[in-house]
């Protein structure tokens, strides 16, 4: 779906970067040598939270972190099934109760744009907002600047 890529530059060593990520209680983290995979811990709905993958490389005395924020694929599949099911129920109920005779357009022309707009508003806009705040938080805890 959507990807956000950027690079951070910091004076911390790769080990210090990993330690700082573990110290932050805001994230669930998995590390593999100098790579990490994190997701923000939230008690709210997690569908819009980005999965953050990073690759740390040593650059002289400094470190460089290539970060990719992406929409979680399992969440996207679950959400698509939910929206398709909701659309099917609305359209089926509309036809079952004979409401299609009250409106002069096919219900699909009303329901499908509403479902698409709902998806964009409820998920993608929150995803982009969450990417921005996660990026700023990572820059703060890692004392980094964007390259």
pLDDT at 1 over 50: no
Predicted pLDDT at 100: 66
Structure tokens that stand for 65 in this block: 């972190």
- Categorize the per-residue pLDDT at 120 as very low, low, confident or very high, splitting at 50, 70 and 90: confident
Instruction: Extract the runs of DSSP E, i.e. beta strands, from the chain.
Output: 3-10, 27-32, 35-40, 50-59, 62-71, 144-146
Average pLDDT, the chain: 84
- Categorize the per-residue pLDDT at 88 as very low, low, confident or very high, splitting at 50, 70 and 90: confident
pLDDT at 44 over 80: no
Predicted pLDDT at 122: 75
Predicted pLDDT at 22: 92
Q: Give the span between the Cα atoms of 37 and 73, in whole angstroms.
A: 14
């Amino acid at each position: 779906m959507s990807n956000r890529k950027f690079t951070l530059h910091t004076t911390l060593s790769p080990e210090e970067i990993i330690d700082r990520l573990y110290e932050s209680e805001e994230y669930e983290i998995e590390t593999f040598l100098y790579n990490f995979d994190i997701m923000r811990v939230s008690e709210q709905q997690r569908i819009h939270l980005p999965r953050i993958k990073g690759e740390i490389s040593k650059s002289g005395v400094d470190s460089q972190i290539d970060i990719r924020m992406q929409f979680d694929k399992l969440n996207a599949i679950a959400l698509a099934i939910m929206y398709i099911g909701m659309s099917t129920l609305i359209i089926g109920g509309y036809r079952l109760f004979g409401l299609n005779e009250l409106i002069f357009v096919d219900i699909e022309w009303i329901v499908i744009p509403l479902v698409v707009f709902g998806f964009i508003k409820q998920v993608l806009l929150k995803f982009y907002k969450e990417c921005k705040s996660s990026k700023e938080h990572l820059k703060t805890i890692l004392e980094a600047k964007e390259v």
